[in-house]
Structure 1
Amino acid sequence: MSRQRENRIDLIRGVSLLLIFVDHANVSFSEGLQQSRGFSDAAELFVMMAGMSAALAYHPATGPADLATAASRTLRRVLKLYRLHLTMILCLATAVILAPLPNHPEIVANWSLDVFAGEPGRFLLEALSLRYLPAELDILPLYVVLIASVPLWFALLDRSPWLALTVAAALWLVAGLFRINLTDLAQPRQHWYFNPFCWQLVFVIGLAAGLRLRRGETPFPYRRPLFLAAAAIAIVAIPANLLMHFGANPAEGPLRLLVTKTSEGPLRLINAIAIVYVMFNLDALARLPAEGWLRPLFAAGRNSLPVFVAGTILADLVTVCVIGSGGLSLTTELALVLCGVVLQLALAARLDRRRRKPSGAPAGSLLVASQEDQDYGSRVSPTPTPIPIPTSDAARHSTT
């Protein structure tokens, strides 16, 4: 039986990467685009898909996980992410030191490097311990923590998915209420922008769904009332969030805590779950071909790490152009964003071609969710249970 790949993971990650690039580019429409997706944004979708990918890559299709093997493989991944994070910091720091960026303090401040510029030696050492995370370079450390925790979550998930989700929800609640976080000296409040003790809940939800998918089950089982409720939440959240951020009286105080990104506010979490639930129960998305004109977008999801790095670099370059020039015309901004998107898709397509066999078939396992982590998944289950397509009941709502 041929292997199947859950292409919706690649699609969601590919779209999320492009949206993250635009959000970080600091053009005039970046914030509007980010807030127009509801209370949550691309970060939640990307983290949840990372959880699904981790389950597909590091957990066997049958039986409990070999925790020692999972720990060994996730450790290698963690070290790779850690080295890449430090490399990106070093490159950015070099640009600040060698380029004439100090003449534009607003650019340095935008990257949270104004403190670093005063004491570069000290804060490079702090960066080694992940206690100094420049803005836009604070997402990889989150993945370092989340991927390192995978074996622990596997141990709970193998006992009971509901037990793992309950523990994750309790940790999210306690960390949010008591503001338990890690130190980031680059931030004004000196804590991680993405609180890993809160964001782990988004990741664990993805792990639980990915484990169902790994075993040949539907990751998010269709229920008509849940589907209608999720669709309503995803739609209503868009104007509600725009009003909250751009209305005459933007939300402050307790209401703002419901959508805080640092602690993954409850409205953000509910919104993200609703979006993913709808997307995984739309038959049109399940049947969307990963070839043809959409292939570069799916390829971006399959090669998420190099595309993310490229997108970060391109977003920083656009930021320098926007802030350094004192503002660009909308036409120029659109041109720069379009060029950045095209370059990322071109890179993804090129990487995808290099990974394919001479016969044209994709190399390695097509069941796991990322090319970077395919090695384990391709050897665990040579004949996995086929992934079910949403039932006809779900298909009736495919155009909702």
Structure 2
Amino acid sequence: MTSLSPEAACAASRPAATIAAAPVSTTRDLRLDVARGIAMFIILIAHIPNNPWTSWIPARFGFSDATEIFVFCSGMASAIAFGGSFERKGWAIGTARVAFRCWQVYWAHVCLFFFVAMTMAAIDTYAGVDKSYVNALNLGRFFSDPMPQIVGLFTLTYVPNYFDILPMYLVILALMPLVMALARVSPGAAMAGCAILWAVANLGLLPLSAEPWSDRQWFFNPFGWQLLFFTGFAFMRGWLPPPPRQAWIAWAAAAFLVLGAPFGSWKVFTWINDAWPQLGAAIRPSWPVTSELRFKTEFGLLRYIHFLSIAYLAWYWAGVGGTRLSALYDRRIGHILLTIITRVGQQSLAVFVFSMALARLIGFAFDQLGRSGFVVTAGNLMGAALLVLTAYTASWFKSQPWRSKRT
């Protein structure tokens, strides 16, 4: 769903045609922004409670899901946004810029938590509902004993499951100065360090506590997931060469996705188990989805291979320099759709935070109105439209129109 090659870049408003390959990309890539935009829509659908549309998101058909798209593309975007600062201004200034971004992500996480907690408390208090929306998010202990939980929230030792992606992203960003320091030795040393850290995390040696009253860990361990982030980072910085464009590799990736579906997809496994119970019984003992939670927490190897297979197919389809995607952009309908998706991808942090809050409210609306086909379709489409509005609003504010000269 994204590019593994930085050889062509595009301006934010209009993709370039084919551009000569460069070892380091410093401008936005249409393929990157489209992939991030698609991920934002999938994340909204996935987080609406009891949303029938979640039956058709990528997570229902394989090991990886929209989280991988978000993390990988964030690595590529960070290579563009921050990598140049380390080269132009030095390690200290590059680290300062990363620290400023960490500060932004940290407060986005805190504000998202308090806004969602407030809205759920307001529904429980004033909406006259039969169930507790606070308890549905497992926030009962926060409201019954708030003082230690507030301390835990601000120190990231209390990370409820619904609020786990931004803390992961925050810690991964904080690792960037270390990776850039290793890259001064050699890019190979930087990637080797990432691989070693991932292996140590998968041995269960780097757990992060998610709550003080139990042994529950962070749902996304950043020391495992950083491998995917810095893979995207390395491709965009030119540390890793683009893969060869070969049809047999594309067929092998497609075969892995198809043949691995019964083992990585709850939906596919259920279909097989219902149609052929004996085959389902044979698959179940080796079915990774039913194994340890660490398969997702520490970012297991099968998730990595599965995502890279999808990414290769998307990159292969997009053509050299993204020419096929650019051709779609040149068509009227394609131009409109890709412009909207690209804008959402360019404002991914603002859109993500808004979507996490919006998803709970859409779920509440579904509970009140029912989940008929019309209600579900209208709710999902209205949610998508609001994401687009958020992206354009964030882009407008970032442009600082009040500083432009009067014409």
- In 2, the alpha carbon distance for the partners of 1:39 and 1:287 equals 31
Asked if 1:147 is matched to 2:173, the reply is yes
- Contact 2:116 2:357 (8 Å CA) reproduced: no
2:24 corresponds in structure 1 to none
CA shift in 2, pair 1:69/1:184, >3 Å = same
Cα deviation for residue 191 of structure 1 reads 0.7
Question: 2:288 is matched with which residue?
Answer: 255
1:189-231 Cα deviation digits (max 9, x unpaired): 5210001111111111111012129xxx965453444333223
1:208-287 alignment runs, 5 A limit: 208-212=234-238, 219-238=242-261, 240=263, 241=265, 242-244=267-269, 247-248=272-273, 249=280, 251=284, 255-256=288-289, 257=291, 260-281=295-316, 282-283=318-319, 284-285=324-325, 287=327
Structure 2, unpaired ranges of 5+: 1-8, 12-26, 274-279, 402-407
- CA-atom RMSD in angstroms: 3.2
- Paired residue for 2:138? 112
Trace 1:126-137 onto structure 2 (pairs within 5 A): 126-137=152-163
2:192 aligned partner: 166
Which residue does 1:320 correspond to in 2? 364
TM-score (norm 1): 0.78
Larger proportion of helix: 2
Contact 2:38 2:341 in 1 (8 A): yes
* Alignment: residue pair count: 354
Structure 1 regions of 5+ residues with no counterpart?
A: 359-400
Q: Cα deviation per residue 1:90-120 (whole Å; 9 max; x = unaligned)?
A: 2223234444269655532332212213212
Alignment pair present for 1:95 and 2:119? yes
| 2:105–2:166 contact (8 Å) kept in structure 1 | yes
Distance in 1 (CA, whole Å) between partners of 2:54 and 2:251 is 30
Q: How does 1:288-299 map to 2 (within 5 A)?
A: 288-289=328-329, 291-299=335-343
Amino acid at match of 1:107: Y
Q: Distance in 1 between matches of 2:339 and 2:213?
A: 38
Partner of residue 21, structure 2: none
Q: 1:50: which partner in 2?
A: 74
Q: Is residue 210–residue 219 contact of structure 1 (8 Å, CA) maintained in 2?
A: no
- 1:145 CA displacement: 0.4
Task: Give the % identical residues.
Answer: 28
Secondary structure of 1:149's aligned partner: helix
Asked if residue 66 in structure 1 is aligned to residue 66 in structure 2, the reply is no
Question: Contact 1:52 / 1:207 at 8 angstroms: preserved in 2?
Answer: yes
> Matched residues in 2 for 1:58 and 1:186: separation?
34
Q: Distance in 2 between matches of 1:29 and 1:2?
A: 33
- 2: CA distance between counterparts of 1:116 and 1:314? 21
Check the 8 A contact 1:85/1:140 in 2, yes or no. yes
Q: Is the Cα–Cα contact under 8 Å of residues 124 and 133 in structure 2 kept in the other structure?
A: no
Counterpart secondary structure, 2:57: helix
Residue number in structure 2 paired with 1:348: 391
What's the offset of the Cα at 1:168?
1.8
Determine the C-alpha separation between the residues in 1 that align with 2:337 and 2:211. Answer: 44
Q: Of the two structures, which has the highest relative contact order with CA contacts closer than 8 Å and spacing of 6 or more?
A: 1
